[in-house]
A and B are shown apart, each in its own frame.
Chain A
């Protein structure tokens, strides 16, 4: 008996529960025959979600998730991931390099995709706590204490601006697609009311998405995987703009634009 049996199981072969191409037989995708069951019958976003979670969602839910992709990928090159795309265009990389590098940048704790993990985790935790009997006000007080007295609840408060124009847009999508407000989203609104009263702060789009998708039965990790290329469209747009202008034309800096605050000039020897 050795200690590497677990790896021997995979040695010289591939085992996948997601699918694959059997030459001459067809392509399987999470239990579906890709050409028979999916192509032309399901939307691209349905298949994206299928591949990320192993479960095929309804077209309505996939449409909702597609809409939020639009909300979270706008072509303003001041947004951090988009700026990577703009700089890449200015530096004349390829579009694929620029777009994927922008997505990598959005794998950030501060914005983009990773906060969705905390957002879903937060609202699901909040629901459990409040179901146990704690009041929303006390819950908020406890959370604020954890953050040194600041109301930094995941899914609430937005950097740079107060309020979030994406929420009413998504509320309309939710209504148009005939989704009802579930227990997590309902709680998210109630927390917003209290937070606004006490701290003049509101829900952000992360909070809305996290609560809505919690109601649809997704875990935090599943949401993160579904949205793994969330910002790509805006990044490509910013790349395209600067790629069509002069080389080095995005945010060019003169040497005098940089403030040097380091060591005085010195010599090695």
Chain B
């Protein structure tokens, strides 16, 4: 028996012949069309932004197409700082440290740690689904989502190391003054008040999802923005170890290394 249909013919699909963008406009000097004389970002002269804006505002502009209002700018900055350091124990920070102490090329430290931060354990891996679901669920009172939340059927509402995440609870309280006008953040805050005492709770991912959704970010932007926010903390830990000897990192002794039998052996 074999496939009778293996002749290959082009479908003749029309691919674009030019890159098209709403973000960047570049103008060249007369003597070289590959060089740049002026660059504009969503219509703003790059040098105008350099002179008059802060870093986070320009990130916001790049991703949303408009500079943030004063309130949006404050909230975006606060969220970025809330997530800036996943902490030295986070698997992504440990990966960063391993890359640093192992003398991996330093240009690879950030991609390595951000890749690990892209997982679903206390990272960015579930945020796209979380934003989608929060946008839908926040149209109804939080109480209606309580049972699903307690059964951990809502993404990024869960336990962390067996209990509700205490630090996520601290962060949501501290972000409340800046984010309380957001419909989805308010819904999440109410949900947290309904479930936290039952030892299930929000996570840093759910906080990020709610605030980004309120700021108008799309689900597919969520993971990358969360990675961007966490990058400085992850990088710092890797670089801290990049000048240290290999022996400065844990290498479990053989006594602490158990090789189990494979289930199918």
Distance in Å from the Cβ of A202 to the closest Cβ of chain B?
Answer: 4
Q: Is the CB of B33 within 8 A of A256?
A: yes
* CB-based contact A263/B162 at 8 Å: no
Q: Which of A99-113 contact B (CB under 8 A)?
A: 101, 104
Chain A nearest CB from B81 CB (Å) reads: 23
Contact A2 B162 (CB under 8 A): yes
B161–A16 touching, CB < 8 Å: no
Q: Tally chain A residues at the interface, Cβ within 8 Å.
A: 65
For the side of the interface on B, what is the size category? 35 or more
In the bound complex, CA of A12 to CA of B257 (Å): 9
CA distance A258 to B48 in the complex (A): 22
CB contact list, B42-92 vs A, under 8 A: 42-45, 48-49, 51-53, 65, 67
Are B43 and A266 interface neighbours, CB within 8 A?
yes
A15 to chain B, nearest CB (A): 5
Chain B's closest residue to A25 (CB) is B254
Determine which of A5, A165, A260 lies in contact with B8 in the assembled complex, contact meaning CB atoms within 8 Å: A165
The answer to whether A255 touches B21 (Cβ under 8 A) is no
Interface string of A158-181 (1 = CB under 8 A from B): 011111110110010000000001
Nearest-neighbour CB distance to chain B for A178, whole angstroms, equals 15
B-side interface mostly: loop
Contact A31 B262 (CB under 8 A): yes
Question: Which of B22-30, B172-180, B189-197, B238-246 participates in binding chain A?
Answer: B22-30
| Residue in A7, A104, A164, A255 whose Cβ sees the most chain B Cβ within 10 Å | A255
Asked if A147 is at the interface (CB within 8 A of a chain B CB), the reply is: no
Q: Is A132 located at the chain interface by the 8 A CB criterion? A: no
Which of chain A's residues have a CB closer than 8 A to the CB of B199?
3
**B36 contacts A by Cβ under 8 Å:** yes
| Cβ A171 vs Cβ B9 within 8 A | no
Residue among B21, B27, B48 making CB contact with A267, cutoff 8 Å? B48
Answer whether A14 and B260 are a contact pair too, CB < 8 Å, given A168-B6, A262-B22, A265-B40: no
A93 within 8 A of B: yes
Q: Which residues in chain B, 88-127, are within 8 Å of chain A measured between CB atoms?
A: 105, 107-108, 111, 115
Complex interface: chain A residues within 8 A of B42 (CB) = 262-263
Inter-chain contact B25/A54, CB cutoff 8 Å: no
Q: How far in angstroms is the closest Cβ of chain B from A182?
A: 11
Cα–Cα distance between A265 and B26 once the two chains are bound (Å): 12
- Closest partner residue, chain A, to B162 (CB atom): A3
Task: State whether A97 touches B107 (Cβ < 8 A).
Answer: yes
The listed residue (A6, A186, A208) touching B162 by CB distance below 8 A is A6
Q: A2-B162, A97-B111 are in contact. List 5 more A-B contacts (CB 8 A).
A: A17-B259, A54-B262, A94-B105, A165-B6, A254-B28
Give the CA-CA distance A203 to B263 in the complex, in Å: 36
A121 within 8 A of B: no
Q: In the complex, what residue of chain A is closest to B17 when comparing beta carbons?
A: A257
Contacts of A3 in B (CB 8 A): 159, 161-163, 199
User: With an 8 A cutoff between CB atoms, is A57 at the interface?
Assistant: no
In Å, the complex CA distance between A164 and B27 comes to 44
A-B contact pairs, 27 of them (CB 8 A): A3-B159, A3-B163, A3-B199, A4-B161, A12-B256, A13-B257, A14-B257, A22-B257, A54-B264, A161-B9, A162-B8, A162-B10, A163-B6, A163-B7, A167-B3, A171-B3, A189-B3, A192-B3, A202-B6, A254-B34, A257-B19, A258-B24, A260-B22, A260-B24, A262-B23, A265-B40, A269-B52
